[in-house]
A and B are shown apart, each in its own frame.
Chain A
Amino acid sequence: MKKTYIYLLFSIMVIAQIAVAGQIVYKYERTIASNNMYKFKTAPIDPNDPFRGKYIALRYEINSFATTDDDWEYDQKAYVYISKDEDGFAVLETVSKTLLPNTDFDYIEVDNLNYYSGKVHFELPFNRYYMEESKAYDAETLAREAQRGDAPATVYAVVHIENNLHVLIDIVVNGVSIKEAVAK
């Protein structure tokens, strides 16, 4: 290959690598900057990812919607529309197979749908919270213990949502960030 082509190809590669990585950062930073924050009540467990490290896998209380429509395919996409209550907690408004026009509600795209007992079941996509490996197990135990007993504590995920983009930034146990709670 000619030297000029090599330089050109190399420059394109460098630009592409930086631009693609930069674009992901920009996209999520913008979502955080929008400051459209929701709280989602959770129930965490703890697995592993070979490249990205330890994370807490999260399940949410918002995981199903009662409907008489039973025609939901497993690999179909759907849109979960939510609003906020006075404390900032997410409230499920509706689940739709298509994007709803003229609505002020924020929405989250979900897949892997399952219909049974008169409800369509789904999993919210922001279901991973990465933590320092030494803390992930403790965090899981802490969150699980906190939700047991007679007066279970509130555990929730803080998620910024803007134009179907969502960034999970924290998990809060009893009003304290899980990172700080584990450090204690």
Chain B
Amino acid sequence: MSSKITNDLPELVENGIISTEIAQRIEAYYQQHNEPDSNKLFTIFGILGGTLIGLGIILITAHNWDHFSRITKLFFAFLPMLIGQFVLGFSIIKNKSAAWKEAATVFLFFSVGACIALISQIYNIPGSLAGFLLLWTLLCVPLLFVTKSKAAIILHLFFCTYYALETGYRVFGSNETIPQFYFLLLLFPLWRYIQIIRSQQPSAVIHILHWLFPLSITISLPVCIEQSEGVGFLQYLLLFGILYNIGQLPYFTNKSSIKNGYQAFGTIGTTIVLLITSFRFMWKHEFDDVIFNSLEFFTAVVLFMIASGLLYINSKRFTSQNFNLFYFVFLFFGIIFFIGIINDIVATILINVLLFALGVTTIQIGAKKLDFGLLNFGMLIITAMIICRFFDTNIAFELRGLMFVLVGIGFFTTNYFMLKKQKRSELKK
């Protein structure tokens, strides 16, 4: 992008669109802010190389060399870690390039894992995978800070999510470690992530992290569910409320949807939870196990407070332009949840009304903003809702068919009118 702009500068100056002075300033800006592309490429290859060698070492050690003595095996267990520490230390002291530091960080991260794994293998330690992942990730926490490595953030995020998967989805048997340690592990990469956001350095990695963080939390939330699974739905809806509201913070204004994972997770997640809970049997059976004095409920309260705080921050910037029902869904759902514990029919009706309202308002906003994506998303909400209702109502087949045809026609006509409207407004300009 920047190279295209700088390439075009002479032409722009020649045609009198910008002055020579402005052209020089633009050029100076990009020179100052952009690392040469070769450096970036070198860093990426460094990270890839470090990852491959590290993973290779884990596989080689997993082979288990039976004919080596215990001492020899121990020597090879520690060797990669010591090499990694030496190389990283060297690159810090000599202040080597980012590529050096990133590659050494990634290599050391994997070699620490290999070292612990090999020791467990040598002594046949039966410990759980979760305990191993916890120890490994904790021992590598400083890597996030000593080199400011961005690869380390992704690695930490990946492995703490892996830990959550190991502990949070356990149906049978007890955990040797505490599943909620996930949040402790998450805290460190989160800290670095916020640091990078605040430094406002342009970086491609940050856009990836805007997707990876909400993904990790969405996957890992079951670490807060022990016995009262019904509250899980409330937790998830509150979480999606938080994610949506984060996606609307001033930082994300003027950022395209592709760079705003929070908004995507918030809207899609909210819709999915609402669709699931729009069935009456959910309210009839799933929420029988709601216990107020539980970890699940405590988590829900914390999530509600965070969501409310974010909503308050966002509410200061509400205008008729950016107002959206998605901001408030978590509030409504909270109320409906309590109604649902007492009366399942009222809750089911209210969820369906809420879902329908969401669909309609989304279509409205899409039409107003001439945004085809939003318009069709709204249509999709209503279509999904209609499909869901077909499963639990006794509507005759011909009527169902007719409704589908009507929705299909709706899709075509709304898109057609929007296209016409867009063309008209373009002509006016």
Contacts and interface: CB of A to CB of B under 8 A. Distances in A.
Interface of A: 1, 6-7, 9-10, 12-14, 16-18, 20-21, 24-25, 28, 49-55, 74-75, 111-112, 125-133, 135, 167-169, 179
A6 B121 contact: no
A166 to B, nearest CB: 9
Contact of B58 (A20, A51, A74): A51
Nearest to A159: B124
Interface stretch (B138-146, B259-267, B326-334): B138-146
Contacts, number: 105
Give me the 6 closest cross-chain CB pairs, A-B, nearest first: A53-B62, A13-B142, A75-B174, A168-B124, A28-B123, A132-B66
A10 B142 contact: yes
Chain B interface size, under 10 / 10 to 19 / 20 to 34 / 35 or more: 35 or more
B92 A131 contact: no
Given A130-B124, A133-B63, A111 B143 contact: no
Nearest to B65: A132
A contact face: mostly helix, strand, loop, or mixed: mixed
A21 B64 contact: no
Contacts of B112: 17
B contact face: mostly helix, strand, loop, or mixed: helix
Contacts of B126: 125-128
Nearest to A127: B126
A179 B222 CA distance: 42
A51 B129 contact: yes
Contacts of A130: 64, 121-122, 124
B12 interface: no
B62 A52 contact: yes
A25 B174 contact: no
B240 to A, nearest CB: 31
Contacts of A17: 81, 85, 112, 115, 139
Interface string B166-188: 00000001100000000000000
A128 B120 CA distance: 10
Contacts of B118: 52
A52 B139 contact: no
